[in-house]
Amino acid sequence: MARHAFAGAILGTLCAVAAHVLGVQQLIRLPDLILYIPAALIGAALGVTRLRPLLWIFAGIIALICIVVAYTPAVSGMARPLIRRDSIPAHLDAIAVLSNGLTPDGMMGGETLDRLLSGIMLARRGVAPAMLVSMERRAFSGAPVTDSADLRNVIALSGLEAATTFVDSVISTRTEALRMRAIARAHGWTTLAVVTSPLHTRRACATFEAVGFKVVCVPAAVRGSGLYPGSNADDRLQAFRSWLYERFATESYRRRGWIP
């Protein structure tokens, strides 16, 4: 009995680790909640019952998904319907650069930096005279943290001449769209280039269109996106995590009526 419980706990934990690698953790939206211990307890409970084979079936399915994602280009095909790339006209009212997290030491997330650099490159081409940049605030260990200084430093280093407005305390794509709409109305802007990660483009641009903008969708150049030939296993797994999150987020936005 004890041996079966111990084996079940180990298998349950390994299932949780593999699920974490695939991005299941981010769907919970609670970064501090790690599922290893709950999975071990569930595995131990199932390990001493006739349902023990279910652990092996579940583990086999997760293992197969990990292998297919890591060692084949399957995720590139899966991701394609989520990517929107519009033709960029000669002139737009403004460029909107969306955020994607920050670190406990007040640095922007890696994909936020990629998005910002893509937005800066677009602005330097003279596509728009102004840029809207999302800025995040979060509490880490009870202390408020913002990536505003990091954002400002990168923009200053770029020598960008376009007017830049920071959109404070965004928590979702929906809040970004609403807060940017308020700023745009004050300036009479109606047409935006929305710059974001490739897999986020379709949902993001639909969200901005739903609040009244005319949108030109611009996928940022994301390092290690996993969407290109020659991508390694880790990059493909990252792409799968993004794909999984976007699938769930898109359905959530549709249920709430935020996008068509």
* pLDDT of the residue at 35: 85
pLDDT at 27: 83
Q: For the whole model, what pTM was predicted?
A: 0.92
Termini Cα distance of the chain:
53
Q: Is the pLDDT of residue 170 over 90?
A: no
What is the edge-to-edge ordering of all strands in the sheet holding 191-196? 163-167, 130-134, 94-97, 191-196, 214-219
Phi first, then psi: give them for residue 74, nearest 5 degrees. -55, -40
Q: How confident is the model at residue 32 (pLDDT cuts 50, 70, 90)?
A: low
Give the per-residue pLDDT at 122: 96
Q: Where are the domains of the chain?
A: 2-71, 85-223
pLDDT value, residue 101 = 87
Res 33: pLDDT: 67
pLDDT band, residue 26 (cuts 50/70/90): confident
CATH of 85-223, one of 3.40.50.620, 2.40.37.10, 3.30.930.10, 3.30.420.40: 3.40.50.620
Q: Report the alpha-carbon distance of residue 192 to residue 131 in Å, rounded.
A: 9
Long-range pairs, 227-233, Cβ under 8 A, ≥24: 227/75, 227/76, 227/79, 227/198, 228/76, 229/73, 231/73, 233/70, 233/71
pLDDT over 80 at 259, yes or no: yes
- Crossing angle between the packed helical segments 2-22 and 36-47, to the nearest 10 degrees: 140
